[in-house]
Structure 1
Amino acid sequence: MDLKDEVLKPCPKGTPILTPEEQQALLATMTDWSVTQQDGEDQFIKTFRTKDFAGALALANRIGELAEAEDHHPTLEVSWGKVTVRWWTHAIGGLHRNDAIMAARTDALA
């Protein structure tokens, strides 16, 4: 099954975050994503290029609709010709497989 087709699992506080080895295994299946750290929390990050600001805004809106449908929300940074997306699980303060699933779905939108 493709990562994007997996079902998100509930992730309450106390759910273990991905180990560095698990992160690397998932990254090997994800095109152009990497791990960054923000406020001490690991996050998957990728910048998508568009032809102009309108394209970037349209992509951000599609990602926002996806996030609302799954009740799992990224940080989106929109500027002329690009959208930077960061996925992580707020409740556990780091990365979960759900974040990789959402990254794969984001790729499918772009």
Structure 2
Amino acid sequence: MSLTQTEIDSKITAIPQWQQKDRTLTRTFKFKNFVKAIAFVNQLVEPAEAAGHHPDIEISYNKVTISLTTHESGGITQMDFDLAQTISQLAQ
């Protein structure tokens, strides 16, 4: 079930640098070079598979933009916040 805007506003404070854009959570990560960016993307495979939740990923040289939404619910759910938290930890 999609979260309400009030719930989203409350939860987004726990995942710094993530933003809400319409019905998605997004964040752009910047790396030293293309190789580091791809290495980061490769790290996302296991947690995404384990969660059964797959992000939309855009790669532009050393920048990786992640977008999360739960298509079945038509919006942002707790699954999106959980995966955003995991992705943020991997980027550190």
Q: Give the TM-score of the pair, scaled to structure 1.
A: 0.79
2:58 maps to 77
Write out aligned runs for 1:1-110 (5 A). Answer: 15=1, 17-37=2-22, 42-110=23-91
Could you give the per-residue CA deviations for residues 17-67 of structure 1, whole angstroms, max 9, x where no partner exists? 111111110111111001012xxxx00000011001111111111112221
Runs of 4+ in 1 over 6 A off after TM superposition: none
Across the aligned residues of Structure 1 and Structure 2, the Cα RMSD in angstroms comes to 0.9
Equivalent residue letter for 2:15: M
Matches of 1:50 and 1:91, distance apart in 2: 32
Identity %: 34
Unmatched segments (≥5 aa) in structure 2: none
Unmatched segments (≥5 aa) in structure 1: 1-14
Equivalent residue letter for 2:16: T
Mark the structure with the bigger radius of gyration: 1
Matches of 2:32 and 2:61, distance apart in 1: 8
Matches of 1:101 and 1:54, distance apart in 2: 26
Q: Give the TM-score of the pair, scaled to structure 2.
A: 0.93
